[in-house]
Structure 1
Amino acid sequence: MNANISHIIFKHKESIIDQWLEEIPKFRTEDSLQNITDAMYENTNREFVDKLLSTVKNQTNDHADLVPFTERLIQLGWPLNYITRGLQEFRKITVATLSKSETDYNDSIELLQEIENWIDEIVNLLVNEYSGSWENTVFLQKMALKELSAPLIPVVDKISVMPLIGTIDTERAKHIMENLLTGVIEHRAEVVLIDITGVPVVDTMVAHHIIQASEAVRLVGAKCILVGIRPEIAQTIVNLGINLNKFPTKSTLKKGIETALEMTKRQIVEMEG
């Protein structure tokens, strides 16, 4: 930034800060900002505006010193929308303050352009940092999703079990389907037991994914048994009118394995003595 303009901004620093701190609370409508204390809210805003003004002296347009502070804002859950609206308000206050106080400055257009460029650089930096954080979060979520994607476990010859744990959404159902079909072929399974004991909620969407999985297993030459039907899940399935008649259902994994053995022409025999 031009040294003369930098000097002008710092000359009115206190006035700009006071006006901004007075105006910024009107943007405090985000739910994530309602849970922090007023003291932390005020201190963070003051630190932000101090960091912002410290970039005025930077002649290289490299505002890397703002990065650690931005990372802390992200970790604290401050939304990008609040920050960008705050910056626009800061721009407006700065322009208004300097326009009134520096009427004798010989190039007001240059002054306004410098302020516009300065704030735009800060906005771009913040957006890039937030975008990078979101991309990293999405990547970690995808990795966690893959870890949660259930494997197909062979228990005895021709019989495999896929235990499902946690909430099932469309993305996860896709991974489950891939693992299921790959496992059926790899283990040469004739019967697959899908265990939903660890699935907290079975709604229409979850049931639809399970039915799709069952159909896919049938198409590759195997049969499917749904196990882990708790009473509350059975009641939900009935209330929703979900049709699970296309494949057997059992309340427990033990009963499911017994049925699978019968389907593969085997049975459990107790030995005497």
Structure 2
Amino acid sequence: MQPYIVSFILKNRQTLIERWEEELGAVRDENYLGSVSESVFENTSHDFMQFIIEIIEMDQEQAKERLSAFADRYIQSGWPLAYFTKGLQAFRRVLLVALSENESEVSELVKTFSELENWIDGVINQLVYDYTGSWEDIFEMQKLSLLELSAPLIPVFQGVTVMPLIGTIDTQRAKLIMENLLDGVIKHRSQVVLIDITGVPVVDTMVAHHIIQASEAVRLVGATCILVGIRPEIAQTIVNLGIDLSKFPTKSTLKKGIESALEMTNKKMVDL
């Protein structure tokens, strides 16, 4: 940014901050900041304004580095990107009004406006880039964590294991289910595997196809698959879609499935 603009901002720092603070008050009225307390908003706004004033004096690389660190800090605390973009737009308005009051030459004002516009746009673009990248990283980490927990295979008796499924089953998750199922059957030396779909909200043709594939794979490694947790509405959907689940046993509840699994492995539960 031109030395003249930097000098003007630093010289009129207090006045600009006071005007800018009024503009930020209007930004707070937006719905996405309704739950933020007065003290937290004031402290954040103060930090934001002081930070922008400080990086105006820095060279491009240093300002970029500081801006990324600033964005990371507020991303982690959950502040919306819109607050900072709207805040920078408010700063631009305040600064242009102040410059127009001080600058009488139209040509110089236009030149100053162009310089300021480019600088503000650069800061906004950097904030958007940092916010987008950080949220993508967080999303991917959460997605991987959920996938690791989305298809567990739990041994309940010798030779009997259960795989409880919760949530929507897509192609990627179906692949993970298949891998965990086959690895678990071999690892636990399972004779019977119970796939519990009690927590699966919708069973359509694709979901049924994945379950059938999983049961066939289990059969090929020498175990039997029982589908449990078939609710009445799920049973009706399966019939209406014409899905054939006759190739492997089905039970309405996990309890009934375990009883069948024990019979198949020559075991039974006895009350003492």
- Please give the residue correspondences for 1:86-125 in structure 2 after superposition, counting only pairs within 5 Å: 86-104=87-105, 107-125=108-126
Distance 1:10 1:92, change over 3 A: same
1:151–1:162: 8 Å Cα contact kept in structure 2? yes
* Runs of 5+ consecutive residues of structure 1 not aligned to the other structure: none
Could you list the per-position Cα deviations for residues 114-155 of structure 1 after superposition, in whole angstroms to 9, with x for gaps in the alignment? 212221221122122212211221121122123213244565
Instruction: Tell me the distance in 1 between the aligned counterparts of 2:148 and 2:80.
Output: 29
Could you list the per-position Cα deviations for residues 211-250 of structure 1 after superposition, in whole angstroms to 9, with x for gaps in the alignment? 33432134436353233x4xxx846647xx4337835114
Could you list the per-position Cα deviations for residues 5-35 of structure 1 after superposition, in whole angstroms to 9, with x for gaps in the alignment? 2112223333332222222233335555222
1:32–1:77: 8 Å Cα contact kept in structure 2? no
Aligned match of 1:242: 237
- Secondary structure of residue in 2 paired with 1:78: coil
Instruction: Tell me the distance in 2 between the aligned counterparts of 1:179 and 1:65.
Output: 44
Instruction: Tell me the distance in 1 between the aligned counterparts of 2:67 and 2:215.
Output: 57
My pick for the range that moved more, 184-193 or 28-37, is 184-193
2:28–2:34: 8 Å Cα contact kept in structure 1? yes
Matched, 1:217 2:218: no
Aligned match of 2:132: 131
Shift of 1:62: 2.4
Could you list the per-position Cα deviations for residues 27-66 of structure 1 after superposition, in whole angstroms to 9, with x for gaps in the alignment? 3355552222112112211221111111121134521333
1:17–1:49: 8 Å Cα contact kept in structure 2? yes
Distance 1:177 1:152, change over 3 A: same
Distance 1:12 1:270, change over 3 A: closer
- 2:254 is aligned, of 245, 249, 252, to 252
> Percent same amino acid among aligned pairs?
38
Amino acid at match of 2:201: D
Over the aligned positions, Cα root-mean-square deviation in angstroms equals: 3.5
My pick for the range that moved more, 38-47 or 180-189, is 180-189
- Secondary structure of residue in 1 paired with 2:88: helix
Instruction: Tell me the distance in 2 between the aligned counterparts of 1:208 and 1:34.
Output: 44
Amino acid at match of 1:50: Q
Shift of 1:90: 1.8
* Runs of 5+ consecutive residues of structure 2 not aligned to the other structure: none
Amino acid at match of 2:58: N
Q: TM-score, normalised by structure 2?
A: 0.75
- Secondary structure of residue in 1 paired with 2:164: strand
Amino acid at match of 2:177: I
Amino acid at match of 1:220: A
Instruction: Tell me the distance in 1 between the aligned counterparts of 2:269 and 2:76.
Output: 59
Aligned match of 2:195: 194
2:99–2:109: 8 Å Cα contact kept in structure 1? no
Instruction: Tell me the distance in 1 between the aligned counterparts of 2:269 and 2:24.
Output: 76
Aligned match of 1:203: 201
Matched, 1:2 2:2: yes
2:153–2:161: 8 Å Cα contact kept in structure 1? yes
Q: TM-score, normalised by structure 1?
A: 0.75
2:68–2:130: 8 Å Cα contact kept in structure 1? yes
Instruction: Tell me the distance in 2 between the aligned counterparts of 1:136 and 1:111.
Output: 38
